[in-house]
Amino acid sequence: MNVRLRIAAVACCLLLTTPGQAQEIQVIRADGPPVWGDDGRLVEETRIGSLSGAPEYVFGSVGGVVQLNDGSVWVGDTHLHAIRVYATDGEYLRQIGREGEGPGEFEYPSSMRLLPDGSVVVWDPGLRRVSRLNAAGDFLDSFTPRTVQISMPTEEFEVDREGNLYLIAREFSDYSQIDQSTAKGRLQAARAALGIGTPWFWFKLRPDGEILDSIYLEPFEDGAHADPEFTFTALSPLGYRVVARNDEYAVELRRSGSDVVRIERSWEQIAYEREERQEKQRLADAAARNSGRPAGRVPEHKPPFSGLWLDVDGRIWVRLHQPGYRVPEDATRRAEREQACRFFGASKAECDQRLREWYESLVYEVIEPSGQYLGRLELPHRDVEMKQAPGRILWVVGKGELGEPYVVRYRIEPGN
């Protein structure tokens, strides 16, 4: 049996057996007092990146970010096609690699993880290759995963505490059957590329690329409809799936066999502002017209959370819905929206329907895998991407006023 058929067979068997397993659910309430106190906060320690100046501090597009055991940080720049290394205080140290296909060279160093032995693995989706480097940046080895297809979402690469690697894979989509000469066709192709409505799997691999196992993910759902209830799924570095549906504040840790731990927490309903709800309905209706699926109606109240993220210690970061606030569209955001409209061939009237001016603050509640509630943290900026959180440190990637990328290290400061 060839590799593709063998992997497909493993995936199909997993689909058949997973739903039928009897589950014993242990319920844990996470309503205890916050370990970090009621006034825990994030204190900015280091910011790397600028709009102009010394070139080693100007990023094109930040991909992977990883902190090593000595406190230094590696930042993958997918426009530079290389990795930059910075000291704990943000001082530039050196560059690792360059553009190319040879050993130690990169196209898009988009994700990086630290292995238990202190080496770093780099996932490069442009080359479809995993490379391993030592802490000094020297190339050790690499392999191309023998999976069916590697694609979205962005964080498709993970490592567990035993040093096993995980990559997201799914069955190949035949884009040649989609007419992309129209806006609707391009949208259908984009939906197919994102795997909306199709099963996905984490493939577990050894550092040399040998496939050990496959772990089923919940299928991605269509964001075109107005009902904001979604199933979120993530892989813990402790080696199991974490699944949550946000029509209630509950997170399930689906461990080996039928062992399921369900962490529940109380929450307070937040109502949509009238204009906020109208905007959300307008955006959902516009997306539904392109997708051909019904939009439904936006409810009066928001679900408890809108996102799920796991850090290197297996802690669960739940992004809470917050009261909305309006930010009038500026020239930069208008240009970005109009550029996207031109790409998809949307008319001016269609483009105007995609105007977005209502936002929420970025607030997370952090919970240990044991169910212990650590506390609530608010990030100073809403447009950031979480990257790594070892211990009391949080690394994020954000953008400045003119869209320039920067990397920030925060210290989690407990309150009283």
The Cα 284–Cα 294 span in angstroms is 9
At 12 the pLDDT is 36
Q: In this structure, what token pair is assigned to residue 82?
A: 């290389």
Which long-range contacts (C-beta less than 8 Å, at least 24 apart) are formed by 335-344?
Answer: 343/186, 344/183, 344/186, 344/187
Q: What is the CATH number of the domain that holds 182?
A: 2.120.10.30
406, 48 contact by CB (below 8 A)? yes
Q: In this structure, what token pair is assigned to residue 285?
A: 């209706």
Structurally, the chain folds into a number of domains equal to 1
**Ordered DSSP codes for 281-350:** HHHHHHHHHHHTS------SEE-SEEEEEE-TT--EEEEE---EEE----HHHHHHHHHHHHHHT--HHH
Residue 184 lies in a domain: yes
Residue 145 amino acid letter: P
Q: Which residues pair with 366 in a beta bridge?
A: 317, 375
Task: Report the relative pairing of strands 41-48 and 24-29 from DSSP bridges.
Answer: unpaired
> Which SS3 state, helix, strand or coil, does residue 276 take?
helix
Residue 340 lies in a domain: no
At 283 the pLDDT is 87
Residue 260 lies in a domain: yes
Residue 154 amino acid letter: T
At 346 the pLDDT is 81
301, 271 contact by CB (below 8 A)? yes
Residue 192 lies in a domain: yes
Residue 141 lies in a domain: yes
**How many other CB atoms are there within 10 angstroms of residue 179's CB atom?**
11
Residue 345 lies in a domain: no
Positions of the chain with pLDDT lower than 50, given as ranges: 1-20, 148, 150-155, 172-173, 175, 220, 222-225
Q: In this structure, what token pair is assigned to residue 355?
A: 């105007």
The model's pTM: 0.84
**What secondary structure letter does DSSP report for 107?**
S
Residue 298 amino acid letter: V
Q: pLDDT by residue (tens digit) across 360-409?
A: 999 999 999 999 999 999 999 888 999 999 999 999 999 988 888 999 99
The Cα 176–Cα 122 span in angstroms is 31
Residue 313 lies in a domain: yes
At 9 the pLDDT is 34
At 324 the pLDDT is 96
At 285 the pLDDT is 85
Which residue bears the tokens 């929206």? 337
Among the listed residues 38, 40, 120, the one whose alpha carbon sits nearest the alpha carbon of residue 72: 120
Residue 166 amino acid letter: Y
The Cα 102–Cα 286 span in angstroms is 45
Cα–Cα distances (Å) from 233 to 216, 219, 243, 245, 308, in that order, read 10, 9, 4, 9, 8
Q: Which residues pair with 310 in a beta bridge?
A: 316
Cα–Cα distances (Å) from 203 to 121, 191, 215, 218, 362, in that order, read 16, 22, 6, 14, 31
Which strands, in side-by-side order, build the sheet including 405-413?
41-48, 405-413, 393-399, 384-388
**What secondary structure letter does DSSP report for 105?**
-
At 135 the pLDDT is 95
Residue 349 lies in a domain: no
For 110, the domain range is 3-267+304-323+361-413
